[in-house]
Amino acid sequence: IYISEDIAGTGRSQVGDSISVGTNESFLMQETMLHSFTHIIIYTMSSLVEQSTPVAIELFDNFATVSAVMFLDFDLDAGDIGGSITWRAPTNVAQVTHYLVYFASLLTNVSDFDTNVFRDAPELIERSLIDITSAGSEKLAIQGDTGIFDFTRFLVYTRSSLVEQTTPQIHIVADEIASVSGLTFVDLDLDQGDLGGSIVWQAPPRIERVRVYRVFFRD
């Protein structure tokens, strides 16, 4: 069994070892580079010689990656996130069984993620799995108070029944922070043990995701 550049066997490359008679199946390992190959070709071979004219089947490279990844952070603490990460399913989902979502950061001084690093230097990427969801659900809820630590990106992968894809879709982890400042209180109740007066603060610079303010006593 070979992969080749045409049905005639041009530039062919053998797939594994020769297969004994009685076995009608072989396995093409994941991550096999397509290069310029276009066909799988199979020859029979006698004790004397390999046949000259093989049977061929055209190769189809199944490509399935998500797009339009979005995340809005509704945990307003610095260093924590919470909310739903969503994405658009691949055009062809016939072989997609699951989606996997990771936090990621680079273990190097490279200024930014490049999709080539996943193929050429995956050891430079630190990943932490957030969760897995089945195909048909293009959304994953991230619980509030989830720490981002030093992670700077989300990675969303597709997975088939065989293997997880090598090159994911990348999205920036945007930590929404909304804390009040300038908090003041002047007690105008002059009885001992009683308080009264206005509590005043300055609103956060960004209030798009702030619904209410809550004021508590604290020991």
The dihedral region occupied by 79, where left means phi > 0, alpha psi between -120 and 50, and beta the remainder, is left
The fraction of the chain above a pLDDT of 90, given in percent, is 75
Spatial distance between the Cα atoms of 153 and 102, rounded to a whole number of angstroms? 8
Residue of 83, 56, 87 whose CA lies nearest to 70 = 87
Does pLDDT of 115 surpass 80?
A: no
Q: How, if at all, do strands 169-172 and 153-159 pair?
A: antiparallel
pLDDT in the model for residue 128 = 96
Does pLDDT of 171 surpass 90?
A: yes
The 3-state DSSP class for residue 117 equals helix
Spatial distance between the Cα atoms of 8 and 56, rounded to a whole number of angstroms? 8
- The tokens for 137 are 């659900």
Give the lowest-confidence range in 66-70, 109-113, 128-132.
109-113
Contacts of 89 (CB under 8 A, 6+ apart): 66, 96, 135, 138
Give the lowest-confidence range in 23-37, 101-115, 119-133.
101-115
pLDDT in the model for residue 109 = 62
pLDDT in the model for residue 68 = 96
Does pLDDT of 117 surpass 90?
A: no
pTM: 0.81
What's the angle, vertex CA 124, arms to CA 120 and CA 125, rounded to 5? 105
pLDDT in the model for residue 111 = 56
Does pLDDT of 107 surpass 70?
A: yes
198-215 confidence digits (pLDDT tens): 999 999 999 999 999 999
Give the lowest-confidence range in 50-54, 117-121, 177-181.
117-121
Does pLDDT of 22 surpass 70?
A: yes
Give the lowest-confidence range in 92-96, 112-116, 165-169.
112-116
Does pLDDT of 79 surpass 90?
A: yes
